[in-house]
Structure 1
Amino acid sequence: MAERNSTAQGRIMGVDQFRLPAQRMMSQLAKARMTEQKIMMLVSAKPLSSRLAISKNEALCNAWMNKYPSMFLSMKNVEGMSIDDAYIYFRALAARLCSDHAYLIDSPRVAELEKSLLKSILEDNADTGAVSNLLLTLCRALHAHRGKPAILLIDEYDVPLARAER
């Protein structure tokens, strides 16, 4: 009978509470080792550009590397149960992207319209149109500021739609 109660409690309260102390300690030790390994990889790792095969082609790298302004946007964390929820996450992502490129607001080369749109997104009072055109606005501002077309890299662009459809 007591065994039945502890099993039922284990299901309700979580099996982890009924592990033996040695099992819990081993589990925590394994997690700590994994974290330590990840930190060591980050600290001692060479820059990604030096680990890529393309980096061996010096002529190509000299011709193209760091020649154009670029932005990276990952949509991996834009989630929600509906399009409206995903839009809220994207708005936060837009603000962070504008914050990363806030120097464009002070650039004498960037048009006042782009500056005002970037400011409105940073101040969280932008309308839907400004947020929808954020990437175009940032690309235009970067082009004006640097004098060269901007390269926009978007990772996991389909995640928000896939999650909203579920």
Structure 2
Amino acid sequence: MAKKPNTVGGGAKTNHNGLHFEGRTDLLKALNVHPDFTVMGNQVFRDGTIVAYYFEKHNLYNGFLKPAGVDYKKILSKKLLPDGALLVGNTIYIIEKKYQAGSGSVDEKLQTCDFKRKQYIKLFASLDIKVEYYYVLNDWFNKLEYDDVFEYIQSVGCKYFIEELPFNEIGL
């Protein structure tokens, strides 16, 4: 029996399908083309004033936590690598992007938001920074079969968005 090609993502297709989706949902690019914002490096400006700092993956640790004196190894047993983290005032918005085009493991990953949010809360506690945990999902998830998962996500203090993240949801 011939092997069917993977056309839905996951496995070997994760990067191919995920990068395209992540490119469409790039927060810094969206901010930079918005007339009210300017982006320089990881800094977001509005009217010449820095209003936010953006970090991804390891840069959250190297570019923010470590310089702030936070050693994650003393707080967490494993480093968490967010797709995006936007610091606005004393709130950090952890943004996880999930792409799916068929049944697969992302379904179960959505149910980990409570644990990860609590881990981030521990990580930022010494800096007195509030944590918001958000998913940005592609339109595959816009189905009734995800209603229970979405209800759970909201019940544990997390949020989800389909295809876009409104700026007013991230303090901008």
Structures share fold, TM-score greater than 0.5? no
Q: Give the helix-richer structure, 1 or 2.
A: 1
* TM-score, structure 1 as length reference: 0.31
Question: Which of 1 and 2 has greater Rg?
Answer: 1
* TM-score, structure 2 as length reference: 0.30
Q: Give the strand-richer structure, 1 or 2.
A: 2
